Amino acid sequence: MSHFAEVKDGMVVTVIVADQEYVDTLEGTWVQTSYNTYGNVHFGEDGEPDGGVALRKNYAGVGYTYNSSADAFHSPAPFESWNLNSTTFYWEPPVEKPDDPENGHYFWDEANLRWVEFLNSDPPE
């Protein structure tokens, strides 16, 4: 059994688990996706990269885009200012998130294009 994404107009509308023989009987465009692929890396059962084939850059999800020319799935952009990495097909902010292990709670402020630290467990509204 494998995972397959139904793609309509470049958007993932359904993800199923099925045999290839079954998928071959379905109408529409179905593209195989790997549950173990994220950021163009294949991960093993232990959660560590295992050198396996990183199928289509990322596991497909409903609402994701399928870029047929790159043969890649990616999520919707979290913010308008973020850029899609052409290797991992992850969205990246225009400013790197601070690496602060002691106070590492930040949220993205799209209006000011910056990371803002917050001290409580919930980001400001």
3-36 tens-digit pLDDT: 999 999 999 999 999 999 999 999 999 999 999 9
Using a 10 angstrom Cβ sphere, with 0-12 exposed, 13-18 middle and 19 or more buried, the burial of residue 78 is: exposed
Q: Which of 47, 76, 79 is nearest to 61 (CA)?
A: 76
Q: What is the pTM of this model?
A: 0.86
User: Is 50's pLDDT higher than 70?
Assistant: yes
